[in-house]
Structure 1
Amino acid sequence: MKIHIIGGGNLGVSVAVGIAKFTEGNQVTVTRRSVANIKHLEELGITVSSDNKHNIQEADVILLTIKPYQVDLVLAEILPAISNKIIASAVSGLSIEKLQNKIGPLNHAIRVMPNIAAQFGESATCITFQDDKATYGKEVVALFEGLGTAPVIDEKLMDAATVLAASGTAFALRYMRASMQAGIEIGFDWKTSLAISAQTVKGAAEMLMQEQVHPEQLIDRVTTPQGCTIAGLSEMESHGFSSSLIRGIKSALKQIKGK
């Protein structure tokens, strides 16, 4: 497939790198008005251009990783040059219905929400599409399955997916930062502390992914009566560890919905 990514910011670049590294036979173009900061992508065989229409007629999938206020301007620029294209939007808050109306019946609207871990093949990419676009949606799912997981969800959950999968990256990193800081306080240098914290989180996530069980079942394996683990968990919960995280996720969702 030929993938044309419009928007060479953090997300667009992450997806482009992931496709180049972890999928076979796909060709990627990334466009951005100023390409100086993304010229290094050419070392991975990625085409870089300041022209949004650069070879866009050859694209199988056009991925929009731009800001909401840029959508109309970008579509006005590219629509005269394309027809019968899959247009996958990672634009927050832009519904499939609105996108389909904007791109017309000759193109196919798909909505995606990857995260920046795509460049390491570890994105949690949520995807949604209308029933009559299932054939095209499956092509996009197959592409993003090469970059991690790619569950198909109801569109009404896409804002929630943005918070849980995209913003969730920052939330997870904030936990690791706190864990690293604690490691320094109990005697490690910051590099060793970070390495231990990051690998521990990676290992915990891998256990969940492999065993497909509730987290509490794995927590029970680690805790022993009157042990240090349960003492630490109890202290964290007494200061609102879980409840503050839940409130943060719900607050982020309210921000997206404008409530």
Structure 2
Amino acid sequence: MFKVGVIGAGNMGEAVVRGLINSEKLKSTDIIVSDINRERIDYIVDRYNVAGTTSNRRVVENAEVVFLAVKPKDVEKTLTPLKEFFSEGQVLISLLAGTTTEKIKSLANRPAVIRVMPNTPALIGEGALGVSFGDIPEEKKEEILNLLGGLGRVVEVEEYLMDAVTGLSGSGPAYVFMFIEALIQGGIKEGLSYSQAKELAVQTVIGSAKLLQETEEHPSVLRDRVCSPAGTTIYAVHKLEEKGFKDAVISAVEEASKRSSQLSK
């Protein structure tokens, strides 16, 4: 019996496998992964030394905890043939955007269902994960929280807030990568090489995030500390405000959240 099974070996499925192994929460021999794409399974097996199969049923019948990491549009055709093979007490963790626990339960029947919205930095154990446990027993929650902790920081929320989590942290890495790309391009425009601009931009984002995390100050307080009177930064901040920087980011979170809500209907 495997401790964890993963149905779907795409980017998020791989992130789960790599994150759990690298965090040493599980050994590779504790994990079984399935996907309809044989080449993808061969890659996952070769890289992570896990068990692999093209049979989702084999995963369900041989894992205590199953991560569902398929595309939302494929959830019905994935779970319907597996309905009779789930067992009482088994845990199914859905990573699907815009797919309610109620829908997963209706398709999977017997397992306890937990809804999680991760993001791609889970691949290196630095993900941000929103989780809704529903009516999961307290002792089971602790076990799952420990497991998910191998993928990054876990924030428990009510399920009605999962669309907001999707819009903020689920889609958030894309916004951050775009910001870093813009910083790099700005540096290049001012004469830095790509490698110089990239190193400075990436470390600026990492350092700023860590400073915010460790000081627990409001972001606006830390921003104001960088803005000297009549200095370079206040001029730059004024230009960002003029261009609608914060409004654009808030709107991006809002649009992604709306789309997640639409997917559930």
Query: For residue 10 of structure 1, what is the aligned residue in structure 2?
Result: 11
Match of 1:39 among 35, 39, 42: 42
Once the two structures are overlaid, the 10-residue window that deviates more, 23-32 or 187-196, is 23-32
Once the two structures are overlaid, the 10-residue window that deviates more, 237-246 or 37-46, is 37-46
Match of 1:88 among 76, 89, 93: 93
Alpha-carbon distance in 2 for matches of 1:120, 1:152 = 21
| SS in structure 2 at match of 1:11 | helix
Q: CA deviation at 1:56?
A: 3.3
Once the two structures are overlaid, the 10-residue window that deviates more, 160-169 or 215-224, is 215-224
Alpha-carbon distance in 2 for matches of 1:80, 1:258 = 29
Alpha-carbon distance in 1 for matches of 2:220, 2:42 = 46
Q: CA deviation at 1:132?
A: 4.4
Asked whether the 8 Å contact 1:126–1:153 carries over to 2, the reply is yes
What amino acid maps onto 1:72 in structure 2? Answer: E
Alpha-carbon distance in 1 for matches of 2:137, 2:72 = 23
Alpha-carbon distance in 1 for matches of 2:48, 2:13 = 15
Q: CA deviation at 1:47?
A: 2.2
What amino acid maps onto 2:107 in structure 1? Answer: K
What amino acid maps onto 2:100 in structure 1? Answer: S
Alpha-carbon distance in 2 for matches of 1:242, 1:55 = 44
The list of structure 1 runs, each at least 4 consecutive aligned residues, that deviate by more than 6 angstroms after superposition, is none
What amino acid maps onto 1:51 in structure 2? Answer: S
- TM alignment of 1:85-124, pairs within 5 A: 85-104=90-109, 106-124=110-128
Match of 2:135 among 131, 134, 140: 131
What amino acid maps onto 1:232 in structure 2? Answer: A
Match of 2:70 among 38, 43, 66: 66
Q: CA deviation at 1:38?
A: 4.6
Alpha-carbon distance in 2 for matches of 1:177, 1:96 = 36
Uncovered stretches (5+) of structure 1, i.e. residues with no partner: none
Superimposed CA distance per residue, residues 99-155 of structure 1 (whole angstroms, 9 cap, x where no aligned partner): 223322x31011001111111111001100213444333322211112210111010
Match of 2:79 among 75, 78, 92: 75
- TM alignment of 1:203-218, pairs within 5 A: 203-218=207-222
Counterpart check, 1:163 vs 2:153 = no
- Identity across the alignment (%): 30
| SS in structure 2 at match of 1:112 | strand
Alpha-carbon distance in 2 for matches of 1:246, 1:217 = 19
Question: Does 1 or 2 have the higher relative contact order (CA < 8 Å, sep 6+)?
Answer: 2
Query: For residue 244 of structure 1, what is the aligned residue in structure 2?
Result: 248
Counterpart check, 1:30 vs 2:33 = yes
| SS in structure 1 at match of 2:98 | coil
RMSD: 1.9
What amino acid maps onto 1:195 in structure 2? Answer: E
Superimposed CA distance per residue, residues 65-106 of structure 1 (whole angstroms, 9 cap, x where no aligned partner): 1122322222223233330310011112221122223322x3
What amino acid maps onto 1:73 in structure 2? Answer: K
Superimposed CA distance per residue, residues 8-44 of structure 1 (whole angstroms, 9 cap, x where no aligned partner): 1111111111111113334222211113135333332
Q: CA deviation at 1:55?
A: 4.7
TM-score after normalising by structure 1: 0.92
Asked whether the 8 Å contact 2:94–2:116 carries over to 1, the reply is yes
Counterpart check, 1:187 vs 2:217 = no
TM-score after normalising by structure 2: 0.90
Alpha-carbon distance in 1 for matches of 2:37, 2:73 = 18
Q: CA deviation at 1:231?
A: 1.1
